[in-house]
A and B are shown apart, each in its own frame.
Chain A
Amino acid sequence: MLKKTVLNSAHRTLGARMVDFGGWDMPVNYGSQIEEHHAVRRDCGMFDVSHMCPVDVVGADCRVFLSRLVANDVAKLQVAGKALYAAMLNDAGGVIDDLIIYFLTETRFRIVINAGTAEKDLAWMQAKVAEWKLDVSITQRRDGANALGIIAVQGPNARQKVWEVLPQSKTATEGLKAFFATEVDQYFIASTGYTGEDGYEIMLPAAEAENLWNALHKAGVAPCGLGARDTLRLEAGMNLYGQDMDETVSPLDAGLAWTVSLNTDRDFVGKSALTANGQKCQFLGLILLDKGVLRGHQQVITKQGNGEITSGSFSPTLQQSIALARLPLGVQIGDEVEVDIRGKLLKAKVVKPVFARNGKAVI
């Protein structure tokens, strides 16, 4: 039995093509994935991401708990509302999940974790609270009476559209810098996203999600499926958990070194393994020079040895196939490499792993 978000019937009314996405019945597109992709780069689109799990972390020891729990340093969170992207590691330094932490007050933080990892993440967090004997309570907000829905509104016109539909939010959100959140009435509005565009992610009581979704649709916001969400995040060079990294992969080998804070005496789970193992490979972008489509698990042949594509697709913005790949140390940006696609060796160029943001190609 597939799980459904509170917007399931709204998707079906809009004629969405539904797929099993990690046990969730989710829209992959509402017609054309490429048109939805362009809508976000050029205008405004919205995504139902209510399958993701908000977690409220409350108590006197929140900061101590989070500083030991994740590889990024919550000491960077000093201004109320500030958000931090972080990886939660196991003892071997592998990534249990990647998540966003919002700092609300010294005794209240909110974390958003991935859909497919929610149960194991919550169990891990609960176990750490007990092990470290901290005054922290962990409460999931995806299911049950206090469940929240999440709608991501993304694109150059996203802010205008949200203000049109929720005029009461304008004062509190118009000065919101990137990677911040604020609370307006029952809405938790964050300037975060997974597309490389401006916009908001809005959490609200699940029972009200459909009203907001319909109002945004009426205001001209294009409903977008998880298909477009994937090509948008790929173009933006953002990792997808389970594809670009998992429990067997170090964040240092998944392009997440920028989220790992090793240079203080703060201890966190996985730190000693990261320090002992160091970086084993590089996480870089590829652009296919020949015709075809790069896909996850294809072998990359370089002068320094073989690597592997972790995510690949066709980039609607670049009109070429692009990929994220783990490549041997020593491979340089600009190198030409070969990718084995169904037994044929096709040429690709190594690039920085960011392809398009803010409506434009950046390659």
Chain B
Amino acid sequence: MSNVPANLKYATSHEWVRLEADGSVTVGISDHAQEALGDLVFVELPEVGAHFVAEKEIAVVESVKAAADVYAPIAGTVTEVNQAAADAPESVNQDAYAAWLFKMTPDNAADLDALLDAAAYQAVADAA
């Protein structure tokens, strides 16, 4: 059974999103996603300062088995990327919620309300 922390929001495309105190959001891929992909060997992160609309390809994670796009869960501008995850992709397998990929400033904070809560995402993961 994959781990779905209750304090996070999720996208149907398997990203997790955490709202920070300063209004920014931190984004990674879910435990279910890392488990489905298997051993990760490459992470391609977006450029800091780049703007993405919601559901646009923003990063790539590749396992030995396959490449998978990571999508912007909401519209916003990238403010920071986690180079440590790119340098050690296996850290995402070890703890998908600690090994975040990037931070964004949302265009519109209300967009977060459209994301899934843990229970709804668990249902998506179980059906996959």
Contact = CB atoms under 8 A, between A and B. Distances in A.
Interface of A: 17, 28-29, 32-34, 37, 227, 231, 291-293, 295, 313-314, 316, 321, 342
Given A32-B39, A292-B62, 7 more contacts: A28-B38, A33-B38, A227-B64, A227-B65, A292-B44, A313-B64, A321-B42
Contact of B42 (A33, A37, A291): A291
A28 B39 CA distance: 12
A295 B60 CA distance: 14
Given A17-B38, A291-B42, A292-B44, A33 B65 contact: yes
B67 interface: yes
A316 B42 CA distance: 12
Listed residue (A17, A314, A321) with the most chain B CB atoms within 10 angstroms of its CB: A314
Nearest to A295: B67
Interface in B4-49: 35, 38-39, 41-42, 44
A342 B60 contact: yes
Please list the 5 inter-chain residue pairs (A to B) with the smallest Cβ-Cβ separation, ordered nearest first: A314-B41, A293-B62, A34-B39, A293-B42, A314-B64
B67 A33 contact: no
Contacts of A34: 39, 41, 64
Contacts, number: 40
Given A293-B67, A295-B67, A29 B62 contact: no
17 contacts: A17-B35, A17-B38, A32-B38, A32-B93, A33-B38, A33-B39, A33-B63, A34-B39, A227-B65, A291-B42, A292-B42, A292-B62, A293-B41, A293-B42, A314-B42, A314-B62, A342-B60
B67 A28 contact: no
A161 B64 CA distance: 28
A231 B64 contact: yes
Contacts of A231: 64
B54 to A, nearest CB: 20
Interface string B62-84: 11110100000000000000000
Contacts of B93: 32
Nearest to A291: B42
A37 B42 CA distance: 18
A28 B62 CA distance: 16
A277 to B, nearest CB: 34
